[in-house]
A and B are shown apart, each in its own frame.
Chain A
Amino acid sequence: MTTVTDHSHHGDAGKPSVGHEHDAHGGHGHGDHPDFVAHHFDTPEQQFDAGKLGIWLFLVTEILFFSGLFVAYTIYRTVHPEIFEYAHQFLNKYLGAINTGVLLFSSLTMAWGVRCAQLGKRWGLVNCLGLTLFCAAVFLGVKTFEYAEKYEKRLLWSGSFVSAPDLGKEAWGGKPAAHVLHVNMESDHATLNKRVEDDLGYIMKLWFWVLMLPLAMMLVGHWMNYRSLRSTGIGGLIAIIGIMAGIQTGLIIHHQLEPHGSEHGEVAHVEGDAHADPAKSGESDSELATDKADHEPKDAKTVEKELVAGNATETEIHQFDRAEQIPRNWSVFFSIYYFMTGLHAFHIIGGMIAITWLLVRAVNNEFHSLYFGPVDYVGLYWHLVDLIWIYLFPLLYLIH
């Protein structure tokens, strides 16, 4: 944040913080019609209220648009609760909770930014917007970790859902998803982590080189005394550093949880559960199956033991799946997961672009007590994105 303040000070260090000069300037030109009020509005307040109605209408379309996905979720969860009960284990609820916290904090800084804009506190607003942008990027970084990890474990949407034994082979070989993960993954556990880290290392390297773009924008903007370009560069810098920080956060939490054997990733998680409590995890599921129909094969227990020990044959694994230990078509969960979180992440990206736009304008000192509408509108949008995540988090990560 200090970067923003420091760099931007070069432009107009001595300028007063409140934007009433706009007011004054406009006032001289057009009587009672300042510059910041579009000519078709009578007063700043009318302009603000019109914009506010507009953003609320947009948010309503967003709510209804997302509600379609929530309905899809409702249908699949009520029709196939077993898929959700089984598949949610492959999400790390602590990463989800941390991302919730990050997003809530970004909502706080956004609300605080609106306050700063209303009070005409220029640098307060710049700092708040920078922090919001950074948190948004951290959220995406953690999501990058989660997606990368799921990709390596082939936990993808229906149609791309590939069974774990393909791990040594081509990723997009189109192998049918007969079963998902069999518990015999002990030997591949280290390989999996290595692959995830390699992927993320590659992504980090990519972002590091992309970092050169905003850096160049910043320097060129500074050199040519083009403040908006410089501010945009700073925004990009904050965003990319945030994403990298988020990826690192994901990795750190993943490793922190690993020794405890409870929540460390997909395949490992199943292993952990099976090792820690093989009887319990198996039993509850088999009981479920038994309740559904009295067709529980007598040797399910034996097969399960073999699976845990890594001695099961392919046929036995299929038998295991068929005993409804592993629900069929559970990739549906991941279709919903990717669609909902992906669309949400898309909205985060949109919000980040809007916040960068605000950042540029805030550095240019365009907002004050009579003209803070854009900050307020983007703020409302940002809070809505937060609201959607508030519901997505328990619906996807906290199922039991």
Chain B
Amino acid sequence: MAHSHHDEGHGHGHHGFAHVMPVPLLLTVFFVLLGLTWVTTWVSANVPLGSYELIVSMGIASVKAGLVMAFFMHMIHEKPFNIAIVFFSLVFVALFVGFTLHDKFEYKDQETEAVYDQIRLEQAK
């Protein structure tokens, strides 16, 4: 190969700067993802979890998201700076949703009262 100096120059092994994912790893991740999809659907259809249902399904979704990011998106080989960028975007998403939830539950009692008022009004009609 006339231009092997590219490979040697960057010292990342046989494929230049590429981080090649082994096929068995990709397949394993895929089947785990499929399995988790089946689990979350089955649980939703068959197990009454009540208020924990959202936590469980979001937990499973986050595990799936983590697998996709780590292996399919090659984040286990990603540069720390790029990981930081993605991480902070997720921090901001958590802030948006977190503050929304916090704000909502702050007024929960008042809202319940307002609903009762509304119902009383309608009953009086």
Contact = CB atoms under 8 A, between A and B. Distances in A.
A391 B97 contact: no
A75 to B, nearest CB: 6
Given A78-B101, A107-B68, A107-B72, A44 B30 contact: no
A59 interface: yes
B61 A293 contact: no
Nearest to B90: A63
A390 B29 CA distance: 14
B70 to A, nearest CB: 11
Contacts of A59: 86
Given A45-B10, A115-B26, A119-B15, A67 B20 contact: no
A227 B102 CA distance: 57
A66 to B, nearest CB: 8
Contacts of A64: 89, 92-93
Nearest to B43: A398
A115 B120 CA distance: 65
Interface residues of A, number: 65
A292 B120 CA distance: 11
Nearest to B9: A43
A295 B123 contact: yes
Decide if the interface of chain B is mainly helix, strand, loop or mixed.
helix
B39 to A, nearest CB: 11
A344 interface: no
Nearest to B44: A398
Interface in B8-67: 9-10, 15-21, 23, 26-27, 29-30, 33-34, 37-38, 40-41, 44-45, 48-49, 53-54, 57-58, 60-61, 64-65
A63 B89 contact: yes
A20 interface: yes
Interface in B75-125: 79, 81-82, 85-86, 89-90, 92-93, 96-97, 100-101, 104-105, 111, 115-116, 119-120, 122-123
Nearest to B112: A292
A118 B34 CA distance: 26
B64 A390 contact: yes
A370 B96 CA distance: 40
A387 B21 CA distance: 19
Contacts of B6: 23, 43-44, 370
A112 interface: yes
Contacts of A288: none
B38 A97 contact: yes
A70 interface: yes
A399 B19 CA distance: 39
A118 B18 contact: yes
A383 B73 CA distance: 7
Interface string A366-380: 000110100010011
A26 to B, nearest CB: 9
A49 interface: yes
B114 to A, nearest CB: 11
A114 B123 CA distance: 64
A67 B96 contact: yes
Interface stretch (A98-106, A160-168, A236-244): A98-106
A398 B40 contact: yes
A52 B82 contact: yes
The 9 closest A-B pairs by CB, nearest first: A394-B57, A118-B18, A398-B44, A60-B89, A108-B30, A67-B93, A293-B119, A45-B17, A111-B72
Given A63-B89, A119-B15, A400-B44, 9 more contacts: A53-B82, A60-B86, A63-B90, A101-B34, A101-B37, A107-B33, A111-B71, A118-B19, A383-B72
Interface of A: 20, 23-24, 27, 34, 43-45, 48-49, 52-53, 56-57, 59-60, 63-64, 67-68, 70-71, 74-75, 78-79, 93-94, 96-97, 100-101, 104-105, 107-108, 110-112, 114-115, 118-119, 292-293, 295, 322, 369-370, 372, 376, 379-380, 383-384, 386-387, 390-391, 393-395, 398-400
24 contacts: A20-B2, A23-B2, A23-B6, A43-B10, A44-B16, A45-B16, A56-B86, A63-B86, A64-B89, A70-B93, A70-B97, A97-B38, A104-B30, A111-B26, A115-B26, A118-B20, A119-B15, A292-B116, A293-B115, A387-B68, A387-B69, A393-B61, A394-B60, A395-B57
